[in-house]
């Protein structure tokens, strides 16, 4: 049976709920259970904005084979009726869930979320969530736990990891929670769905010897500045792509992480890091100052050689010989090529970050110091979160690592 309209809560400035006109009495939702296709449904008569009652069929997720579970269906119907009446739920036109996702995303845009986060949500919706629910014509007001659970199960069936499904789940839950807060649905069905377990991934990391081989292999390559920063400071790819010379003070020997460049459906440059705690200033060990100056000098040479064709836009630390800044995808692609061309064990670019964290601990740094330097989620969950690391202590930690690395 096709439901023409779905329930929402409606109020107006007069508090009357129905088109600003006073009603003689409060209409109540009524109904009874009915079995259809071996499933129980609550068949409800729900008051509409026009002052009339409209029929709605609500699936109860209760087996009706052979007429069994009748009492259970009666109780579920009674609970649903009570929920409708206590919330003063009324009728409006149905909303497709894919359309509601657009409404929710617009709401998130004006709520202060970063462009990077919005692009991430948009990517999840466009690539996976919207195609799934559009194909099924899912109506927001009809959604139940099973509609959410089946989506999760479908993603697991096609081989997605728990972490990826969890990212999609955050979007679905958020959109449905917004619909609940707007009183379009009586509850959030995603709150009762079961997510797959997120297994902690096993990260590949390099030894000190392998890191030195990597640095030697990258030394004369365009990708070198990105590898150099990742190895010695553990910055994320987006943070390296957004790093500017203005954030590097060679006199004070500090590097400040304050901008990111991320890639989703389009590239996003943001003055906000992944989290507020990711905005951090790191010390530069004395041993690294000459390399920074060499990178700066080489860029000056390239600018002179390129002449007017050199791209002078921005103050980027990582640049191509023509002055163009590094795009995030280039960093990944060039890094993978570097490993392959030099016979180095395959790790992801992000695993250079895990490598630094592991080696800092191996060279005697405590977890608290490492967590403040790295802002690494896996380590911060086990670190002592109380107190803050002094600038001198951070300098000693990174300095010890750099001296150990370059002594190999």
Tell me the domain boundaries of the chain.
Answer: 6-92, 97-192, 208-407
328 with 238: CB under 8 angstroms? yes
pLDDT value, residue 317: 97
pLDDT value, residue 332: 96
DSSP label at 364?
Answer: T
Architecture of domain 97-192: Orthogonal Bundle (1.10)
Domain 97-192 and domain 208-407 have a common topology: no
pTM of this prediction exceeds 0.75: no
CA dist 46 and 54 (Å) reads 5
User: What's the gap between Cα 9 and its chain centre?
Assistant: 31
pLDDT value, residue 6: 40
Contacts of 238 (CB under 8 A, 6+ apart): 116, 260, 261, 262, 274, 328
By CB neighbour count within 10 A (0-12 exposed, 13-18 middle, 19+ buried), where does 159 fall? exposed
pLDDT value, residue 94: 84
pLDDT value, residue 171: 97
For CA atoms 316, 317, 318, 321, give the dihedral sign.
positive
pLDDT value, residue 90: 52
262 with 268: CB under 8 angstroms? yes
pLDDT value, residue 384: 37
Count of positions (residues) in the chain:
408
Tokens of 39: 């499933």
For CA atoms 175, 177, 181, 182, give the dihedral sign.
positive
By CB neighbour count within 10 A (0-12 exposed, 13-18 middle, 19+ buried), where does 253 fall? middle
Please list the rounded mean pLDDT of every run of 10 residues in the chain (408 residues): 36 33 57 89 79 80 86 90 68 83 90 82 95 95 94 94 92 94 86 84 85 96 97 94 95 93 61 56 95 97 96 94 94 97 95 88 76 62 36 65 76
pLDDT value, residue 193: 93
In the chain the first and final C-alpha atoms are separated, in Å, by 74
- Provide the H-helix boundaries in 275-316: 289-306
Architecture of domain 208-407: Orthogonal Bundle (1.10)
């Amino acid at each position: 049976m096709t439901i023409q309209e779905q329930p929402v809560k409606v109020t107006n400035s007069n508090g009357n709920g129905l088109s600003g006109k006073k009603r003689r009495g409060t209409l109540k939702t009524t109904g009874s259970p009915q079995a259809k296709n071996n499933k129980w449904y609550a068949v409800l008569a729900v008051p509409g904005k026009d002052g009339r009652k409209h029929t709605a069929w609500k699936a109860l997720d209760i087996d009706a084979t052979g007429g069994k579970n009748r009492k259970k269906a009666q109780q579920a119907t009674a609970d649903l009726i009570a929920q409708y009446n206590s919330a003063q739920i009324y009728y409006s036109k149905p909303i497709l869930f894919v359309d509601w996702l657009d409404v929710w995303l617009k709401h998130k845009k004006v709520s202060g979320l970063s462009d990077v986060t919005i692009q991430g949500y948009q990517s999840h919706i466009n690539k996976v969530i919207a195609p799934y629910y559009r194909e099924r014509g899912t109506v927001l007001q009809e959604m139940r736990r099973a509609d959410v659970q089946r989506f999760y199960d479908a993603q697991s069936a096609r081989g997605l990891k728990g972490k990826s499904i969890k990212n999609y789940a955050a979007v679905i839950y958020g959109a449905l929670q917004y619909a609940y807060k707007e009183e379009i649905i009586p509850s959030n069905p995603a709150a009762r769905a079961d997510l797959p377990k997120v297994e902690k991934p096993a990260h590949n990391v390099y030894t000190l010897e392998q890191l030195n081989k990597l640095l030697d292999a990258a030394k004369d390559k365009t990708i070198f500045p990105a590898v150099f920063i990742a190895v010695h400071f553990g910055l994320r790819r987006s943070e390296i792509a957004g790093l500017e010379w203005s954030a590097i003070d060679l006199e004070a020997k500090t590097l400040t992480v304050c901008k990111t460049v991320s890639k989703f459906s389009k590239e996003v440059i943001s003055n906000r890091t992944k989290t507020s705690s990711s905005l951090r200033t790191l010390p530069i060990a004395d041993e690294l100052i000459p390399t920074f100056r060499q990178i700066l000098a080489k860029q000056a040479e390239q600018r002179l050689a390129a002449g007017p064709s050199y791209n002078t836009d921005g103050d980027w630390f990582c640049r191509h010989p023509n002055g163009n800044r590094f795009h995030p995808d280039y960093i990944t692609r060039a890094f993978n090529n570097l490993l392959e061309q030099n016979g180095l064990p395959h790790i992801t670019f992000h695993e250079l970050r895990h490598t630094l964290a592991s080696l800092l601990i191996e060279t005697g740094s405590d977890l608290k110091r490492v967590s403040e330097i790295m802002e690494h989620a896996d380590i911060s969950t086990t670190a002592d979160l109380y107190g803050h690391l002094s600038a001198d202590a951070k300098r000693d930690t990174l300095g010890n690592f750099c001296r150990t690395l370059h002594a190999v």
